[in-house]
Every structure is written in C-alpha cells, then in structure tokens.
Amino acid sequence: MVYRSLRTYESVQLADGFYGYIWKGNGNNCNTFLFVDVLRGERPHVIIDPGYITNELGENCFDDLAKAVGDDGFKVDDIGLIINTHSHLDHCQANELIVRKSGAWVTLSQEEDEFRRTSGERLNSMLGAKSPEFTPLFYLKEGELNLGAKNKVRLEVFITPGHSPGSICLYWPDTRILVTGDVVFYGSIGRTDFPGGGLSQLKKSIDKLSQLDVECLVPGHRTEYGNIINGKTNVQRNFQAVKLFL
Ligand SMILES: [Zn+2]
C-alpha cells in the first residue's frame, strides 16, 4: 500500500483504480473513497461519501480533498457518480458542490432518501445546518451494483440500518474490500442515537457483514485504534470485538 500524507488527508491506494482519502484533520469529517476511470464518458470517476465542504472547526475539507485527489493525478471535476453510504452531513454536504461542478449523478438507498427528506432535514435544521440539495438519479438496492463498461467494477450493496435507516455498505468481491460507512469501525460501531437509528438493527446489519470474506475493511471514520483493517484475521477479530457492544 502506498500512503501519501497531506495535512488533513492521507491518500492510500487500496486496489488498482481505487483510492482512499483518510481524514486526518482535527474536526469531524468522513473518509472518502474514489474509483477512478470506471464510467464511460467524460466524467469517469465514482466517489463514495465526499464529506463536508467545511466542518465545525472551519477546516476546508472539500478543498483539501480536491487537492489530495489532484496529487494522485485525478480531478474532482471528472466525477460522474456520487455514492452516499448514508445522508448525514459529514458524508454528503459536498454532494451539492460536486453536482454543481460536474453535473454528477447521486445515488443512495431509497430508505435513506426518505429519511433525508423528513427526519434528517429536521435534524439538520435543529443543528442549524442547511441540508445539501441533490436529487438521486436512482436508488441503491440490496444486491449487485455494476459500475462502468463491461461491469468493470462489480460491487455488492448491503442495506445495513442501525446508524441511519438506509445506510449501505459496499462489498467488492474481486478485491475482498468492504466499505462500511458508519456501521462498523476499527474497534467500534456507529452511533445508534440519531433519529432512525437502533441498536437491534445495527446488530443484524453487523451480523450480516461479518459473514463476508473480507480482506480489507475500510470504515467511514477513524477511531483511537486506527482506520483501515487489513488481513482477514484482523477483520474477523474486529467483528468479534465490536459484537461485544451489541
Ligand atoms: Zn453518520
């Protein structure tokens, strides 16, 4: 794995054509992932969870992300599709910016989109934050999600509620990478006290994920223990450990 360190993001190539941008800033923001040169046409990149534009400490998250992506030789203007694991602001605030720049499509699960337009919207306004405006082009459903010509990247979508009602995780069988959003972290699980969250749902979701053959687990946030979990044994051990919280 090749790590490149920037002030607030650490870039890591996780597989051929798949990059992680690991948030290292002081305030809150999510990790972002990028499939490069996947889609046909002028905007071939697919981004997972672009994160905040600016976080609660005033860090310019999206500007730094654009720089980090640029340092790897790619442009955020060439993003054609945004996948959101869920609709919390720290994962999707920058959707609106990317859509404005490049006309990218957005997708998330239908359950999450309904939550976003109701309780999620109320949660944001309670927090004094504006919800980003975007219209999903299609909804993610449990099952296969094939990206690009000749199904270049074949993913499996899992609907994994508990942290948010329509959270999704993405499994990439060819590389055995699992993108978990805020469902499971290194040594920890996602909060279940947000509207639409629930511990029993999270338990079911994590049980389902722990059945998969995973070599590399990439979560939506770092914890005090770390970020990316490498190696099947370590991933299994992490599932066993986090089940103690459930
Ligand atoms: Zn979240």
Distance 245 CA to ligand 1 centre (A): 18
Distance from the alpha carbon of residue 223 to the mean position of ligand 1, in angstroms = 14
pLDDT in tens, 192-235: 988 889 999 999 999 999 999 999 999 999 999 999 999 999 99
3-state secondary structure 170-217: EEECCCCEEEEECCEECCEECCCCCCCCCHHHHHHHHHHHCCCCCCEE
Ligand 1 centroid to 150 CA: how many Å? 33
Phi, psi (deg, nearest 5) at residue 126: -60, -35
Q: Ligand 1: distance of its center to the CA of 31 in Å?
A: 11
Residue 118 CA, ligand 1 centroid: distance in Å: 16
Rounded to the nearest angstrom, the distance between the alpha carbon of 149 and the centre of ligand 1 is 31
Is the four-CA dihedral 239, 115, 145, 228 of positive or negative sign?
negative
Instruction: Name the nearest CA neighbour of 33 among 192, 226, 177.
Output: 177
C-alpha 163 – ligand 1 centre gap (Å): 7
Q: What is the pLDDT of residues 60-113, one digit of tens each?
A: 999 999 999 999 999 999 999 999 999 999 999 999 999 999 999 999 999 999
Cα–Cα dist 68/70, whole Å:
5
Q: Measured in angstroms, how far is the CA atom of residue 244 from the centroid of ligand 1? A: 21
3-state SS assignment for residue 29: coil
How far, in Å, from the CA of 50 to the mean position of ligand 1? 13
Contacts of 195 (CB under 8 A, 6+ apart): 115, 119, 120, 122, 123
Looking at residue 3, its pLDDT comes to 61
- What sign results for the dihedral spanned by CA atoms 16, 217, 199, 32? negative
pLDDT over 90 percentage in the chain: 90
What pTM was computed for the model?
A: 0.95
Q: For residue 218, give the amino acid letter.
A: V
CB 245 within 8 A of CB 191: no
- For residue 31, give the nearest of 172, 223, 233 by alpha carbon: 223
pLDDT 10s digits, 4-15: 656 799 999 999
Three-class SS of residue 120?
helix
**153-159 and 168-172 as β-strands: parallel, antiparallel, unpaired?**
antiparallel
